[in-house]
Amino acid sequence: MKHDIEKVYFTEEMIQNRVKELGAQLSADYKGKNPLLVGVLKGSFIFLADLARQMDIHCEIEFITVSSYGAGTETSGKVTMTKALGSVVENRHVIIVEDILDTGLTLEFLRNYLLDLKPASLKICTMLDKPSRRRVPIKADYVGYECVDAFYVGYGLDYAGNYRNLPYIGSLKPEIYS
């Protein structure tokens, strides 16, 4: 699998150090608030698992499933939800946890969906933020790393379902996806 990687952008050590900092920051900001972490499947499952273990306050965890990229490297522009959330959001301090904020279409859709469920507050935490690609005005409140425009895999991010289990984040050799 690692032979398919062209360049490592964020090493395992960089990721773990940054996740530790984010966990400490969230613990301070949400002390006594019992936040609800909402992981966006599938990409966020590794980040959420690491982040939650770096938080030393009570928090609860839910998952929501949306998808827009299918098996390609470009967004279809249409976000579809296959697993929604029930009544657990009302009056809760919700933190959406994402692996990457790219065009922003996914998070715009989710933000609107979750605001309709009347949370006490709603913030966004993303491991990677790629501002150069934004199509809608969405900003994350907590960002692991800002990144340049490349197609990333690893640490939850996939290409056609693979590479999510790489412990670092890198780009693929072009021959893999062309």
Which residues are near ligand PRP by CB under 6 A? 40, 42-43, 67-69, 75, 98-106, 158
CA distance 92 to 59: 11
**Minimum CB–partner distance for residue 45 and ligand PRP (Å):** 9
The answer to whether 50 and 106 are in contact (CB under 8 A) is: no
Check if 149 is active-site: no
The answer to whether 93 and 36 are in contact (CB under 8 A) is: yes
Nearer to ligand PRP, 70 or 91 (CB): 70
Residue tagged active-site, from 50, 99, 102, 158: 102
The answer to whether 36 and 140 are in contact (CB under 8 A) is: no
Nearer to ligand PRP, 75 or 171 (CB): 75
Q: How many helices (H) and strands (E) does the chain have?
A: 4, 9
Which residue type sits at 178?
S
- Cα 74 off chain centre by: 17
Nearer to ligand PRP, 118 or 139 (CB): 139
CA distance 167 to 178: 24
Tokens of 109: 């859709």
> If we measure between CA atoms, which residue out of 129, 148, 151, 149 comes closest to residue 140?
129
**Minimum CB–partner distance for residue 20 and ligand PRP (Å):** 22
Nearer to ligand PRP, 30 or 155 (CB): 155
Residue nearest to ligand PRP (CB): 43
Rg (C-alpha) for the chain, rounded Å, is: 16
Q: Catalytic site residues?
A: 102
